[in-house]
Amino acid sequence: LFRSARGNPLLTTAGADQAVSALAPGGNMEGKEVRFGIANTALFAVVTTAASCGAINGWLDSFTPLGGLVPLANMQLSEVVFGVRTLALAGCKTVILTNAAGGVGDGLVPGDLVAITDHINLVGRNPLVGTNDDRFGPRFPDLSAVYPQRMRDIVAKSAAEAGSDYQEGIYAWLLGPSYETPAEIQMLRSMGASMVGMSTVPEAIALAHMGVPVIGISLVTNLAAGLSPEPLSHEEVTEIRSEEHT
């Protein structure tokens, strides 16, 4: 659906309008599974890190991007969040955001899945900067419940039914692409963060602006800097992520 708009990261072509119409209530995709490939879909711009690539699976009422965008290639945050905004406008009532993250909190180990309770934006960027589009939401939106308790309760129940451990934590967003220093990790620990990563927060802010509840889940792929004697590597991140997919 979105390939007709490929090459235009803002999706201002008729191809985008066609896609949104198909996904909207009454469209020919209503009630059907929606499947996209992040790496070759203009809607989600260009993913430049292997750990962020994957399929997107979802339904109109619940949409799950498997792998967030890491805004490293001079991307504007308006491009980063355009995908989730499109799905929200098409009628999505809940969005599940997943990411690969470094474990900061005590007791976390690679392979743990952690539900996000809140986030800390340490990048100094926000997708809502600029002229506000009142069709999306208010100029100064409330972010006190971006990841609502009622949504986390659903995740906890699902984890229990699957026999999986349920954990919660605060996600800290740093820009990257370098990993954090041990001193930065100690700072994050003192601030109450349990995970650290380079994605997710822009999309969560944009969705909160539009009144769409978010479920955030981090896959801990490595212990953060200074918490393990081993140096950090992107290979470790992709290896753990691949194991979880299989």
Residues classed as catalytic: 180
Give burial (CB, 10 Å; 0-12/13-18/19+) of 195.
buried
The closest of 42, 40, 47 to 12, measured between CA atoms, is 42
Residue showing tokens 């100029």: 139
The answer to whether 76 touches 182, Cβ cutoff 8 Å, is no
| Mode of pairing for the β-strands spanning 62-65 and 55-59 | antiparallel
Separation of alpha carbons 87 and 93, rounded Å: 9
The answer to whether 113 touches 167, Cβ cutoff 8 Å, is yes
Number of other residues whose CB lies within 10 A of the CB of residue 33: 9
Q: Tokens representing 138? A: 């208010």
The answer to whether 51 touches 177, Cβ cutoff 8 Å, is no
Distances (CA, A) of 65 to 116, 130, 140, 185: 15, 26, 26, 27
